[in-house]
Amino acid sequence: MTQKLDRKFRLTHLLLPLAAFAAAALWCELTDVDLTLSDRYFDFAKGVWPQKDAWWAEWLIHERGRDLITCIGAGALLGWLASFFSQRLRVERWRLFYLALVIALTAGAVAGLKKGTGRHCPWDIDRYGGSAPYTKLMEPPPKACGPGNCFPAGHASGGFSLFAGYFAWRDRKRRAANAWLAAGVLLGSLYGWAQMVRGAHFLSHNFWSAIICWLLALALYIPMRRVLARE
C-alpha cells in the first residue's frame, strides 16, 4: 500500500509537474510567444511600456504584493518562535518553520539565479528600446551589452513560493493545503502577468519560476514529511 502511494505521489508531484513545465518551456522556446505577448504591452509608436509605472502594476501588485509575501514569511517565522511558548501553536510548529524556510530559500535561490544567468528583461531588449539583442533562453546570452539580471522571474516566485503551504498541510489538513496551492498558482500568475505588462519579464521567465518554486518546496518536503504529518 505504501509503495502504491509513493508511486502515485511521484507521478502527481514530480513527473506530471515536470512534464507540464517541459511542454510550457518548449512552447516558449520553439515559438515566438514571449515576443508576441510582450508586443501587446509595448507601445511601439511612443517607444514606451504604458503600464510600467501604473499604480496597479507597480504600487499595488509589485510593491504591496512583495510586502504580502514578506509578511507571510515573517508571520510563519514568528508563529514558529511563538510555538515554543504556545500550546495552541505547538502542533503547527514544524509546518510554520517549513513555510518560512521555503519562502526564504526561494527568495535567495531566485536572486542568485538572476545574477548567475545574466538574462535581460524585455525593457532591456533592443526591440523595445533597450540595447541588448533578444535571445531565447536556450541560446547563449549576449555578451557585448553586459549581463542582465532578469531571469528567472523574482516577483512571480514570491507568489509561487506559497506552494510551500500546500506541502506543509497536505498530510493533515487537505482543504487548507488546497487553498495554499490555489493561492500559490493565482498569486504567482498574477504577479508574473503584472511584470509582463510592465516589461519586466517574458512569459517563459514565469514558467521557470513556477517549477523552481515547486521543486524546491518538494525537495524540502520529502525529508521533513514525517514531522510535517504530525498532529
CATH numbers and ranges of domains, the chain: 50-228 (1.20.144)
Question: Is residue 3's pLDDT more than 70?
Answer: no
What's the burial of 14, exposed, middle or buried (CB within 10 Å: 0-12/13-18/19+)?
middle
> Would you state the pLDDT for residue 99?
98
Q: Are 209 and 184 in contact (CB under 8 A)?
A: no
Tens digits of per-residue pLDDT, 136-174? 999 988 777 788 999 999 999 999 999 999 999 999 999
pLDDT greater than 50 at residue 2: no
Q: Which among 104, 149, 99, 102 has a CA at the least distance from the CA of 124? A: 149
- Residue found under cell 516566485: 157
Asked if 194 contacts 57 with a C-beta cutoff of 8 angstroms, the reply is: yes
Question: pLDDT per residue over 8-30, tens digit each?
Answer: 999 999 999 999 999 999 999 99
Q: Which residue has the cell 549581463?
A: 147
**In whole numbers, what is the pLDDT of the chain averaged over residues?**
95
d(CA 195, CA 116): 20
Position of cell 526591440? 127
pLDDT at 119: 94
